[in-house]
Chain A
Amino acid sequence: MSDVPTKPPLDSSVVSQIERSDDIPIDVNAIANLCYLEVVPERAHHLKQELTDILNYVKALSAYDTHAVEPMSHVHVGDVNELREDELIESLSREEVLSCAPDRKGAFYKVPLIIES
């Protein structure tokens, strides 16, 4: 399996950060930016505290020995790559789908201009 790219090594600074009892540094605005949410400035401090408390709680997992343990993404480990025949079947009509659109014009969704700044 020499041509399979190896995973990048665990970032040791992150690991030690997590294992220490210090608060994990959280940049609320950076996270919000990644998931397209806006943080109201008055809420930012409180939100940061809430997230810090939760993340401090979950980082307790670092105490568990998971050496050579496979990560579980599907509980029925053998039931993967469930394929079906590639057959054409009736799906939703364009009109049924577009009927849900917040803004449409004919057969198209209307969206604001994508402005590159």
Chain B
Amino acid sequence: MSFSTEFSLGEVVRGLASNKFSVQEVVTEYLSAVKGAAYLNAFITVAETPALQEAKRIDAVPVAERGVLKGAPIGVKDNILTRGLTTTAASKMLEHFVPPYDATVIERLKGAGGMVLGKTNLDEFAMGSSNENSAFGAVRNPWDVERVPGGTSGGSAAAVAARLVPAALGTDTGGSVRQPASFCGVLGLKPTYGRVSRYGVIAYASSLDQVGVLAHTTEDLALLLSIIGGHCRFDATSSRRPLFSAETKFKGDRESVAGLKVGLPKEYFLQGLDNEVSAAVTNTVAELEKLGAKVVDISLPHTEAAVAAYYIIAPAEASSNLSRYDGIRYGYRAAGVSSLKDVYRRTRTEGFGEEVKRRIMIGTYVLSSGYYEAFYRKAQQVRTLIARDFTQVFAADCDVIATPVAPTTAYKLGEKLTDPLQMYLGDIFTIPVSLAGLPALSIPGGLSSVGLPIGVQLIAPHFQEDRLLQISAALEPVLQWRAQGPQTSWRV
């Protein structure tokens, strides 16, 4: 068996483990694929030399002595710190920033025998929904290069969809793993808040951020989550709840799905929802019914408040988190400035892009004296109501919830750039899940009539990622999303 970039991460690992091919061969092939796909702009930094050096080093280690990933490379979103490898958050502010330490998820990845092929493009500081807010150019969707890949993990989603890496890490605050996964036809898992350490992840909104995984197979999601997840002493919000091991197999057999109650919340299927998006969800759920699941209608009454609550809470937390970018200890510093306050002002004005500045200003406003109670505190109270909706339906009505991921398929580049609010409304189905801190998975639920991927969102109770993975494993042979790949006519 020779290596192919079509392989899943699991297949790469098994091939390496049985010495069918070497790590150097694997890395060389992926690097070549990345070069051929430069037009997609999925990567900000390609770690060519370090990756080849690391591949050579690992190849000299007997397979039995390597970690469970055996040397396989993945992509990493460029808001996750990688020691010695430039980490930019797709911002001019950190254009030349070389972190002196690895994020916990990177340490664990490396400890498990994995390596970083490159840093994928994103919306600046993880703020956006289309990967058009990067200081290093927009990312193109491999399914249609005139369209967005989604965001903010657009680079990771595009790289996985285009088979430039077998899998990638992203981050999800309001939908930023799930929505690009939906737009690019790959799996995208956002774990429960607290399931994966945020140490070394460039902070956007601390009560919402989570590292997530993008891949083609359930096995790959499970493998990477088992490696990166679990309690971290450096993240006080990380949970001590046990996580399944890397050896766990999610067979997705009938037993795991039969009798499951799948809730369809009426507030997510209003008049005006694109027919094809709606059909993708109902078709997917129908497949689960064939496997013995039951469908129930449910209600999440505070759904309509979610986008408003999020666009108060997230910018507020961002305004606080981004106050560290002041030109003093790291990152960009404005030149030719003579007073400290001017260093702050000019550095931040020149270093940040427009969307980032917009959100910092909104956040500053809603936290300011006189407005805090009416905006921020109110939003936090509404957040409690939204979270309670989910707790109630999981307790009484259903075991998992199925919804669309996004109201549309991938839109054209430039289409939503002039109206920030329109862009925000695209997050309507992913945001409530983030506010409640629940685990959710975007599964490729088919293609639209013009051949664009449509994702279906599955939501489980807190810390029940295994339930999502069982369902994904059950649907995998039925929906066969791997067989549908983007055209590669854009390749040089």
A59 to chain B, nearest CB (A): 8
A67 to chain B, nearest CB (A): 9
Bound form: Cα–Cα A66–B332 in Å: 43
Q: Secondary structure of the B side of the interface?
A: helix
Contact among A36, A72, A100 with B98 in the assembled complex (CB-CB below 8 Å): A100
Cβ A31 vs Cβ B364 within 8 A: yes
B286 contacts A by Cβ under 8 Å:
no
Contact among B323, B357, B384, B421 with A69 in the assembled complex (CB-CB below 8 Å): B384
Contact with B along A48-89 (1 / 0, CB 8 A): 001101110111111010100111111110010010100000
Given A32-B361, A51-B365, A79-B239, residue A66 in contact with residue B338 (CB < 8 A): no
B97 contacts A by Cβ under 8 Å:
yes
B344 to chain A, nearest CB (A): 4
A34 contacts B by Cβ under 8 Å:
yes
Cβ A100 vs Cβ B323 within 8 A: no
In this complex, how many residues of chain A approach chain B with their Cβ under 8 Å: the count is 54
A41 contacts B by Cβ under 8 Å:
no
Contact with B along A96-107 (1 / 0, CB 8 A): 110111110000
B319 contacts A by Cβ under 8 Å:
yes
Cβ B100 vs Cβ A37 within 8 A: no
B343 to chain A, nearest CB (A): 6
Bound form: Cα–Cα A54–B462 in Å: 31
Residues of the A chain whose Cβ atoms lie less than 8 Å from the Cβ of B462: 75-76
Residues of the A chain whose Cβ atoms lie less than 8 Å from the Cβ of B343: 111-112
Which chain B residues in 383-428 approach chain A with CB under 8 Å?
A: 383-385, 387, 420-421, 424
Given A62-B374, A97-B100, residue A31 in contact with residue B361 (CB < 8 A): yes
Given A69-B381, A92-B100, residue A35 in contact with residue B237 (CB < 8 A): no
B159 contacts A by Cβ under 8 Å:
no
B331 to chain A, nearest CB (A): 7
Contact among A10, A37, A75, A96 with B360 in the assembled complex (CB-CB below 8 Å): A37
B63 contacts A by Cβ under 8 Å:
no
Where the two chains meet, the residues of B that have a C-beta atom closer than 8 Å to any C-beta of A are: 97-101, 193-194, 207, 233, 236-237, 239, 302, 305, 307-309, 311-312, 319, 323, 326-333, 337-346, 348-349, 352, 357-358, 360-366, 368, 370-371, 373-375, 377-385, 387, 420-421, 424, 435-437, 462
Can you give 29 A-B contacts (C-beta < 8 A)? A11-B374, A15-B374, A31-B365, A35-B323, A35-B364, A37-B349, A51-B358, A54-B362, A55-B362, A55-B365, A57-B308, A58-B309, A58-B366, A60-B305, A64-B382, A64-B385, A66-B385, A71-B383, A75-B193, A75-B194, A75-B437, A96-B100, A96-B101, A97-B100, A97-B329, A99-B98, A100-B97, A112-B342, A113-B340
Where the two chains meet, the residues of A that have a C-beta atom closer than 8 Å to any C-beta of B are: 7, 10-11, 14-15, 18, 26, 28, 31-32, 34-38, 47, 50-51, 53-55, 57-62, 64, 66, 69-76, 79, 82, 84, 92, 96-97, 99-103, 109, 111-115
